[in-house]
């Protein structure tokens, strides 16, 4: 065989193997990622927060439902759901079944675009187009999101849709501030803006899509922890390089995992975080749009965060 033909055959085989891995293996290879954030006052009891996001469930996905139900065995003290639970018009009962063991725990939630509107087939190359308009999902079929909200709140979870609430968790006075989905342009942070409550042990910001105008505002107001989803961690990543896109204006380096955030931080690399910088945790999420059932170099995940007393200089190098 001619060397060029051999190279083409090898490339085709490698591509087919990568596609098979992404569509058959990795998208179902769920993981729990763990991180510790030193954000509590000295002497405070650590608190474990389970962050779940981007379930994108369709009713037939029993493996994903069972895995999410099993997260209750981690025994978190608090659960935060940052939206995009559905990927089908009939998904809400399946979502509530998946979340049912977690609904017995204290928690809070915001919604994402795929809680409001059903996904549609689209050209994946649109994600590389920065001029692609936000909110295009609003042209799709409306999902029964009110039933989803009713199911979550009946379990005792706090609805943080453009809201500010307080809760006590293991003796910790936690202030929560959330917004509706920035990807749809539904966020109304000015309605809930204000300095962090000095009487609270910690102020936490919660949103679905980590658009920088909301992250900047929350951090400027004194939120020390920011939780978001939406990016899928890039979903299709390049080993050694990472995410290609974030589907918002967040820089690729922060597409998933824990980083530091302060107003103007977006895109900054080798720098020292200000001592009052927030901790940003972006979940790579557990699912995918049902029309793009693949993941590569980006396992689906939930995150177990341990909020711990600050014991070292928070202005360390990023």
Query: In angstroms, what CA-CA distances link 140 with 89, 115, 121, 143?
Result: 11, 12, 10, 9
Beta bridge partner(s), residue 118: none
Bridge pairing between strands 242-243 and 237-238: antiparallel
pLDDT in tens, 274-314: 888 999 999 999 998 888 888 999 999 999 999 999 874 44
Q: Give residue 30's pLDDT band: very low, low, confident or very high (50, 70, 90).
A: very high
Q: Would you say 275 and 253 are in contact if contact means Cβ atoms under 8 Å apart?
A: no
Q: How far is 133 from 123, CA to CA, in rounded Å?
A: 14
The string of pLDDT tens digits covering residues 179-208 is 999 999 999 999 999 999 999 999 999 999
Say if strands 47-52 and 78-81 run parallel, antiparallel, or are unpaired. parallel
Full set of structural domains in the chain with CATH: 3-309 (3.60.21)
Q: Which residues are CB-neighbours of 312 under 8 A, at least 6 positions away?
A: 38
Question: What's phi and psi for 237, nearest 5 deg?
Answer: -110, 165
**Whole-angstrom distance, CA of residue 64 vs CA of residue 217:** 35
How high is the pLDDT of residue 9? 37
């Amino acid at each position: 065989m001619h060397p060029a033909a051999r190279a083409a055959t090898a490339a085709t085989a490698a591509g087919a193997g990568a596609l098979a891995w992404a569509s058959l293996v990795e998208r179902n290879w769920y993981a729990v990622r763990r991180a510790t954030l030193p954000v509590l006052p000295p002497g405070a009891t650590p608190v474990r927060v389970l962050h779940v996001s981007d379930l994108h469930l369709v009713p037939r996905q029993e493996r994903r439902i069972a895995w999410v139900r099993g997260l209750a065995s981690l025994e978190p003290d608090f659960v935060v759901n940052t939206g995009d639970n559905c990927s089908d018009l009939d998904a809400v009962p399946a979502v509530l079944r998946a979340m049912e063991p977690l609904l017995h725990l204290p928690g809070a939630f915001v919604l994402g675009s795929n809680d409001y509107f059903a996904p549609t087939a689209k050209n994946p190359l649109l994600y590389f187009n920065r001029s692609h308009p936000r909110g295009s999902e609003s042209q799709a079929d409306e999902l029964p999101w009110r039933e989803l909200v009713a199911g979550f709140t009946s379990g005792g979870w706090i609805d943080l849709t453009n809201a500010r609430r307080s809760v006590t968790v293991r003796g910790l006075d936690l202030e929560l501030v959330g917004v509706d989905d920035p990807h749809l342009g539904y966020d109304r942070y000015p309605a809930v803006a204000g300095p962090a409550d000095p009487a609270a042990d910690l102020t936490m910001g919660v949103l679905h899509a980590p658009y920088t105008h909301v992250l900047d505002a929350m951090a400027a107001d004194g939120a020390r922890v920011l939780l978001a989803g939406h990016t899928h961690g890039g979903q299709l990543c390049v080993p050694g390089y990472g995410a290609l896109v974030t589907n918002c204006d967040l820089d690729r380096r922060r597409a998933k995992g824990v980083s530091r955030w302060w107003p103007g931080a977006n895109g900054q690399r080798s720098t020292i975080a200000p001592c009052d910088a927030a901790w940003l945790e972006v979940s790579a999420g557990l699912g995918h749009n049902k029309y793009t059932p693949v993941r590569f170099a980006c396992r689906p995940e939930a995150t177990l965060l341990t909020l711990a007393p600050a014991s070292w200089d928070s202005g360390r190098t990023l």
